[in-house]
Structure 1
């Protein structure tokens, strides 16, 4: 949300600079993301009159203007604006004036105007457009002033006569969802009133009484009272639609809005002034002079103001006339009833719409507007008549016309303020300091809670614009944030627990693995746990058909913030791939990443924390590109599957799980994998090692294969933690016995199961087994390969050759029985 510094000053006396105001708002809980100047003080800008306009002899698009600056001073100015003409009153920046001007990249920079030559012609100043003066973003032509603008007078004084003070500043504020009351200038000014203990100046508006002539000219009916509890309609006749005055255009431009016409600009102005969305209908386009509020039917379509015909979700709220829809309630008006230059009679809509109804429709259509932003969070249910009257008053001021007496105010539900009691003793107990009761009373009163003293308590009436305040603790928070959290003193003593906190096993092992993986040259990444549906489908199945079949396992959010955050990630792989692509596209070649994070899926189990849904912590490791950076002593090769396998074996050895987990090739790889090896313990798959599928590699334009291992970290911790206790074992004083064993096995036989069999058959005498050679070729039968193992045997005594030979024979026998292995001679 954007605010204007000068606009705020209309409602409260501010002596704070824009930067000091930003600090004050942050202290109030309203996060200020940026403060941007919208112009300079305009010293040196005067009002001039264009006397003559001649073509520039050396440039087709430029013209030489003779401009009268008053006081018998006439200057020559080169101007490129298409609308400059003799007889115009204009704003002229004389030499020495500093303006904020946009460079070629669109960044605004302070530039000092100087007397100069442009294509050989002398230019003694600049005739300014609105954006160059900081009044709007309009650069289509120079600003043409009314005929009564006094020539030679400072432009700043003229602006002051038009209710404008320069320079202005734009503040961009990020609101939490509960602070809908602060989504307007008056709402923010109310908070500042409490902070500074100064009165709030709310515009005076004559409220029309319900009924009267308006109720005889307009009929309003509501078929969906739960979605539209209140609807106010007010009629203004004989308006003259046209450009808005300078002050109104400047106010809207200061918050980033484009001027449309005086009537529509007024509705936008009132929205950002008080937070109540309004809509202006061309009354003559409403058939039957009737407003009918109803739900959308299945399959119904509607063309909105932006010219798009939208398929409406069933149950969306529509504003209709006697025959057809004319607006999508709370979101956008219709093309068939918009205010145009030919409009003479205007119907002002000011309503209260149910937040959840507007939110569902807005999300379903992917359409969010300034109005829906506020309706979704909840507007003041008592403000509708005041806002409509305020808009009518301003329309008459800027567009003429007459307000039809009376107002239509249909209330299907009465909203009443809630009483909440605040105990002063509780206030002191929770804040740890005593705030003077008079100070607490003033704060709550300025915020609109109307506190009344009842002994040691305050009975407050919660205004309708604060639906988030429901309990005593909410009032305490209001007092604390205005009083200032930074002013709450630290306690003299702290309670420190006597016991040493015990680190959970998951956290202990995670910390060790982070250190290990970082020491091996991997970088930890953090990726978003929310994905778009498209990405989630892509990573759950190989084809769109299968993706839809797998979609039932995805956990989708009910009200996603955006289409990019619609599904909770079922795997860490999408984030890894996107990170790899991001780094690759920025010149990084050696990609070595890991991430710990939670993954989510639907399940048939009912014993989970939330029945039907499961989640666990996962660890993913990814390698791609060269195995190391290029150097004088390094000839990089592309990372391969064995780099990942070796890294994982180091991890397993650190966890003392090498003899507990087997690597078994998957019979059918996952759709995301070109090939895959599973990590299996006691028949349970704990993770996978794989190469990213060719289809995904091509889709994400990865230049090198991506190898990844994704592990169920929770399952790993459950398996690993019991064996993490350190036990001392002295080194044997006796020598070990080394033997080599080479066997012939089928060419496609994985070596992992052979190692597992050797470890089991070697028993407690086998201290080490490793592979030192794999060979195919001469003197090896076709379809076979030779695998050579290095064995070391040992004990706390001297081993005999007979003992070692017996163990080697047992190992060979098991290899023959299980894998058909033959001793290589």
Structure 2
């Protein structure tokens, strides 16, 4: 992310510190700085001049001899070959001994000199836009319009610094993109400016065009039908038509601003869409209205096999999982990534359609990986932009287009969105910014600080995270998250914000005090550790292989790849599938160990397997924990390899399950309904020379020799056998279930119960403990009060409710608390106070 200090200065009301100090602050409180570019040095010699005289070169038809006023007191002669050079024009002059900006970063930059051109001395050159690295135009020199708006206060006069007049006396700070993965707002200059103000302790106020809700006027003149057929992937889709625009090169200030932020000027319409994106982090797009067939613009999912010709000149075959923008006859862009070549704005364009949309971050990310498409718009969309900013951005975009290209609104503003208003349930659950209630102790205890409530509020309010104390609730804070902070969802996020804005380097270097208790052992880890120890004692060597395998590993083992999950973005061509069992991964390692000179050995691995038809309650692939082993020897003497593998299984059972019954049933005669889901597990085994393993009457795995075809495919020695067992029989207890953090707003309620003095506290708690399929409910004591001489006491409990599916309404919360209280009353004869 390239940050322009000149752009930041437009949004903050204090003087920025020296660059070195600013970089240090960025590294500590914002993001890692990769590079600092002194743009001013690149343009330090460029001067604005006035062409006073212009005559034909006496010895060349295509050259002109000019005399320019560079503010030095005398005219300077420059030979120029541009067709548009003329007397009385303002241009940019690069004097002798200066470096052409377009070559500044080259290994051998081009340095100008004073030399004769066809017998006439020329001092330096008058520069074209591409030579100044602010555009692609080389048809003529850059002509300066002195009446055009300029970002600086420097007047246009002979000899004025081109960099100072147009804001190229700038420093660019390039921050590593990965630092902002969770912060979509920081992919725009406005968001970075807000954070810079916050880390320097200044209050930031967003400009009115971003903070105030816009009102759009009705208009007519161009028919535009806008629809959104993919609301679950395109939560908001806004568009409007403008007519009578003039497509031309952008004003010089806009070209220079884009260059400073790392973009390339193209034409005024495209440049404005890019400028707004770089400013606000919200990508936008412009279509040529007259190229939209049927006057329609629709967001929808692509059809399998549908083609899209994009702005990069390439044609892509789409799938039904790709979001597209289409007109009445076909695709005109891939949503969130790139527009189509068939709707491109060109110099002939007179009418345009402006689009500001929000696309599902996961959908566009998968599309980009599928088709190898990567753009600046994608970089921002796959971070999760908020749909609540779209109307603000469209309003700014319309004003900006009118400023640089003229035109007028020619249709109503269409706003196709998944929510109706701020009271819509879907809106509240998914897009409405969080409102959090927490106390200052919660924050201080985690940071090791002693900040006051007012100090915390000030830090948050500086970056427009609106916070204030809760009346009548002591040290509680009420925090209202702004719509652009999509990353803040829970109280811990506020702790991080306070710590970062205060300065992590200022936190005390000591561990916070905690009451600790022994951490309960993870029974799954304990079981696997015991398995490792036992197999090592049995002579096994543990290997670790990927859970992903090549298709050939599956087919060599006789397994069906269609029953395995296939990865759409595999790490490499050799890791395309989730494995169906662990044993084939071990078989793939036997041959290389034999070649390495090992005559007899046993390999084992504890890993996971998956099956495409077996999903958990959360619709995610279910993981099967397995332990597999393979015994191999080049010797032709000794017992059948089956017995060697069986001895290993017997030893595991004897050491880890001494009181369990182990039974072996020949595989070709085994008949159990438990066996069907594990059909792929037994594919490598020879059914006549293998057995199903039962522990306490339940299927626990397979042991035996391998099919001849499998041995041949893996180039195994003559005597090989293996086993694969389920880990679950060795765990012994029910595995703890994973409970995800609550995604929706947590609610707290304090309830006081008046009970008899004889009622013990734990009786009250046991009655109050509640379970709910919709929320996680926990409680903690707040106070126990018994007036002197009274036979009753009042116990106040604080219930914390963390909903799983949706933000709880006041009525739903009350219903939960009433249900709990009814049980407490029934069990303890309590009164709810």
- In which range does the TM-score fall when normalised by the shorter chain? 0.5 to 0.7
Q: Match of 1:174, SS?
A: helix
- Distance in 2 separating the partners of 1:617 and 1:19: 57
- List aligned pairs for 1:270-289, cutoff 5 A: 270-289=276-295
In structure 1, distance between residues paired with 2:417 and 2:615? 47
Cα distance, 1:248 vs structure 2: 1.6
User: What is the rounded CA distance, in whole Å, between the counterparts of 1:342 and 1:65 in structure 2?
Assistant: 34
Change in CA separation of 1:424 and 1:397 when aligned onto 2, cut-off 3 Å: same
**Number of the residue aligned with 1:368:** 374
Q: Cα distance 1:470–1:306, how it changes in 2: closer, same or farther (>3 A)?
A: same
Indicate yes or no: 2:23 matched with 1:16. no
Q: Which residue of 1 aligns with 2:158?
A: 153
- Residue 303, structure 1, aligned to residue 309, structure 2: yes
For the 8 Å contact 1:214–1:407, the answer to whether it is kept is: no
- Aligned 8 A contact 1:131 1:139 in 2: yes
Q: How does 1:501-520 map to 2 (within 5 A)?
A: none
- Per-residue CA deviation, residues 175-225 of structure 1 (Å, 9 max, x unaligned), is 443212212111212211211233446444386535622599433333332
Q: 5+ residue gaps in structure 2?
A: 148-154, 422-426, 533-543, 590-603, 635-704, 728-833
Aligned partners of 1:605 and 1:411: how far apart in 2? 35
Q: Which residue of 1 aligns with 2:31?
A: 30
Q: Say which one has the larger Rg.
A: 1
In the superposition, relative to structure 1, how do residues 498 and 427 fare at CA in structure 2: closer, same or farther (>3 Å)?
Answer: closer
Q: 1:40·1:167 contact (CA, 8 Å) conserved in 2?
A: no
In structure 2, the partner of 1:400 is 406
What residue number does 2:54 align with? 51
Q: In structure 1, the residue corresponding to 2:26 is in which secondary structure?
A: helix
Alpha carbons 1:241, 1:343 under 8 Å: kept? yes
Q: What is the rounded CA distance, in whole Å, between the counterparts of 2:45 and 2:322 in structure 1?
A: 55
The equivalent residue for 2:507 is 488
Contact 1:540 1:672 (C-alpha < 8 Å) held by counterparts: no
The answer for the alignment partner of 1:93 in structure 2 is 94
Partner residue of 1:409? 415
Shift of 1:119: 11
From 452, 460, 476, the equivalent of 1:444 is 460
Q: What is aligned with 1:453?
A: 469
Contact (CA 8 Å) 1:83, 1:142: kept in 2 or not? yes
Q: Is the 8 A contact 1:666 1:678 kept in 2?
A: no
Q: Given the alignment of the two structures, is residue 193 of structure 1 paired with residue 212 of structure 2, yes or no? A: no
Shift in Å, 1:241: 0.7
The answer for the alignment partner of 1:580 in structure 2 is none
Structure 2 residue aligned with 1:340, among 346, 357, 367?
A: 346
Cα deviation 1:400-426 (Å, max 9, x = unaligned)? 112348533233314333211121011
Mapped pair 1:314 → 2:320 = yes
How far 1:111 moved relative to its partner? 8.0
How many matched pairs?
Answer: 609
**Alpha carbons of structure 1 residues 383 and 561: separation in structure 2 relative to 1, 3 Å:** farther
Q: Is the 8 A contact 2:92 2:126 kept in 1?
A: yes
Match of 1:229 among 226, 235, 239: 235
* Secondary structure of 2:501 counterpart: helix
- 1:500-528 CA-partner distances (Å, limit 9, x unpaired): xx999999xx9xxxxxxxxxxxxxxx99x
- Which deviations, in whole Å up to 9, do the C-alpha atoms of 1:304-326 show, x marking residues without a partner? 33333322211433333344443
Given that residues 97 and 112 in structure 2 are in contact (C-alpha distance below 8 angstroms), is that contact kept between their aligned partners in structure 1? Answer: yes
Q: Secondary structure at the match of 1:90?
A: strand
Q: 1:281 to 1:129 in 2, by over 3 A?
A: closer
Cα distance change of structure 1 residues 611 and 161 upon mapping to structure 2, 3 Å threshold:
closer
The aligned residue for residue 432 of structure 1 is: 448
What is the aligned-residue RMSD (CA, Å)?
5.7
Q: CA deviation at 1:676?
A: 6.3
Q: Deviations over 1:616-635 (max 9, x none)?
A: 999xxxxxxxxxxxxxxxxx
> Relative to structure 2, which stretch is displaced further, 410-419 or 270-279?
410-419
Q: For 1:572 and 1:14, how far apart are their aligned partners in 2? A: 62
Unaligned runs of 5+ in 1: 511-525, 577-595, 619-641, 643-663, 687-713, 715-825
Residues 77 and 126 in structure 1, CA contact (< 8 A), matched pair in contact too? yes
Give per-residue Cα distances to partners, 1:8-48, cap 9 Å, x unaligned.
Answer: 32222451344433332232342333333335174443234
Is structure 2 residue 498 aligned with structure 1 residue 479? yes
The residue number in structure 2 matching 1:5 is 5
Distance 2:156 2:182 in 1: 51
What is the DSSP-based 3-state SS (H/G/I as helix, E as strand, rest coil) of the residue aligned with 2:382? helix
1:754 corresponds in structure 2 to none
Q: 1:129 to 1:292 in 2, by over 3 A?
A: closer
Please name the residue that 1:584 is paired with: none
Output aligned runs, 1:607-646, within 5 Å.
Answer: 611-612=622-623
Aligned pairs (5 A) from 1:181-220: 181-200=185-204, 202-205=206-209, 208-210=214-216, 212-213=218-219, 217-220=223-226
Tell me which residue corresponds to 2:363. Answer: 357
CA distance in 1, matches of 2:414, 2:326: 16
TM-score of the superposition, structure 1-length normalised? 0.60
Q: 1:263 to 1:406 in 2, by over 3 A?
A: same
The 2-side partners of 1:140 and 1:564 are apart by: 49
